[in-house]
Structure 1
Amino acid sequence: MNENTKSKKTASKTRMLVFISVLVAQGMILSFIESMLPIPFFAPGAKLGLANIITLAAIYILTFKQATAVVLLRVILTATTFGSLSSFLYSFSGGVLSLLVMAAILKVFKGEISLMGVSVAGAVAHNMGQLFVAAIMIHNVLIFTYLPILLIVAVPTGIFVGAVAKILIGYLERVNFIR
């Protein structure tokens, strides 16, 4: 391998590391902004899931391993910077389950389901993961009776997150950032 090839390979790795770091930072900022929004949902604890915009973009643009790194770093850094142990547990369970479900849908259905559909499935998985942690923390599985309400909220929020992620991915493609 000549010096020019090594240099290009190093630049490519550096570019990817910077891109992953930017996605993590964007996810953290969106999580922080969302925590400050006084969204009057009829479902206590329900959120828009703004950080999932970044998760969706990562799943579509990066490898599964890289997307996992984005999610884990965002969750850990957000919890240590702005949150608590309980916020970490809820974010971790929701984020990881959402990532796994969305990645599985993309792999199995390969483009047969829209970005919004994948996003709604991720929102549902996120809620399921958080309810699972809540059931463990309060030692009561009756918390799952709250699931129908969260599912109703997951549909419009999942569509919104999917629409914004589609715009972000489209922009990155237009500026030839994705190669």
Structure 2
Amino acid sequence: MNRVNTNLTKTIYLGLLVTFGLILHLIEQGMPNPFPIPGAKLGLANIITLIALVLYGVKNAMFVVVLRVFLGSLLGGTLMGFAFFLSMSGAVVSLIFMAFGISLKKIGFLSLIGVSLLGATFHNITQLVMASLLMEQIGILFMYLPYLLIFAIPTGFFTGLVATLIVNVVNTNLQHITNI
């Protein structure tokens, strides 16, 4: 495959990841909250963030995350509003910590599930800090943090598990295709 085809293929795959992330974001936005804590979510779109990070690296994953949050906020009617800033800050900071986690994964210190748990934890922390700053109410941080950190465990585990399964299937298929 020549360089133009490779770049085009990569752009198409990144566009698909943005689309899949956006679909998961919109599905989750339309679902009733399954948790008793306001603001707690499954984080389904983070599955796509993990996949983008593993397959395409930090820079491309950041592109996927920022575009997904922007488009999700645009379609959801929250662009430049409170929810947009919470979502964008949580997604970007979470990705930064997951990128650090990927470097630990490469030396065998973390699994992709561990990387996801790290991302879920820092996503929740970042959103709470941002909400506290925007609302000028530091008490929110201390009141909700323990609960959201508890919810980060099953949600981070779930998204990490699903991402691991998908990445394994993609890697197996890519190896099969390149061996033909």
Q: Same fold (TM over 0.5)?
A: yes
Offset at 1:109?
4.9
Q: Which amino acid aligns with 1:154?
A: A
Alignment partner, residue 4 of structure 1: none
Map Cα deviations across residues 111-141 of structure 1 (whole Å, 9 max, x no partner): 3201111111100110011111101121011
Letter in 2 for 1:9: R
Moved more, 107-116 or 49-58: 107-116
Whether the 8 Å contact between 2:34 and 2:41 is mirrored in structure 1 is no
CA offset digits 1:17-60 (Å, max 9, x no partner): 00000000000000000011223312111000000000011111
Mind listing any 5+ residue stretches in structure 1 that lack a counterpart?
1-6
- Distance in 2, matches of 1:143 and 1:54, equals 29
The correspondence for 2:10, drawn from 7, 16, 24, is 16
Partner of 1:157: 155
Q: Is the 8 A contact 2:105 2:115 kept in 1?
A: no
Q: What is the rounded CA distance, in whole Å, between the counterparts of 2:72 and 2:85 in structure 1?
A: 12
- Per the TM alignment, residue 108 of structure 1 is displaced from its structure 2 partner at its CA by 4.1
In structure 1, give the amino acid aligned to 2:59: K
Match of 1:128 among 125, 146, 167: 125
Query: Which amino acid in 2 is paired with 1:166?
Result: T
User: Residue 37 of structure 1: which of 31, 34, 49 is its match?
Assistant: 31
Q: In 1, are the aligned partners of 2:102 and 2:112 still within 8 Å (CA)?
A: no
Which residue of 53, 72, 77 maps to 2:71? 77
Q: Could you tell me how far apart the structure 2 residues matched to 1:38 and 1:79 are? A: 18
How far 1:86 sits from its partner (Å)?
Answer: 1.8
Could you tell me how far apart the structure 1 residues matched to 2:35 and 2:104 are?
A: 33
Note the 1:110-129 alignment, pairs <5 A. 110=106, 111-129=108-126
Q: Distance in 2 between matches of 1:135 and 1:144?
A: 6
Read off the aligned partner of 2:90 and give its amino acid letter.
G
User: 36-45 or 53-62, which moves further after superposition?
Assistant: 36-45
How far apart, in 1, do the equivalents of 2:93 and 2:110 lie?
19
**4+ aligned runs moved over 6 Å, structure 1:** none
Residue 138 of structure 1 pairs with residue 132 of structure 2: no
Q: Distance in 2 between matches of 1:116 and 1:39?
A: 23
Report the TM-score when normalising by structure 1: 0.91
* Residues 70-117 of structure 1: CA deviation (Å, up to 9, x unaligned): 111111111111231222111101000100001012224523201111
Paired with 2:39 and 2:94, the residues of 1 have a C-alpha distance of 17
TM-score (norm 2): 0.91
Unaligned runs of 5+ in 2: none
Cα distance between partner residues in 1 of 2:34 and 2:168:
31
Counterpart in 2 of 1:88? 84
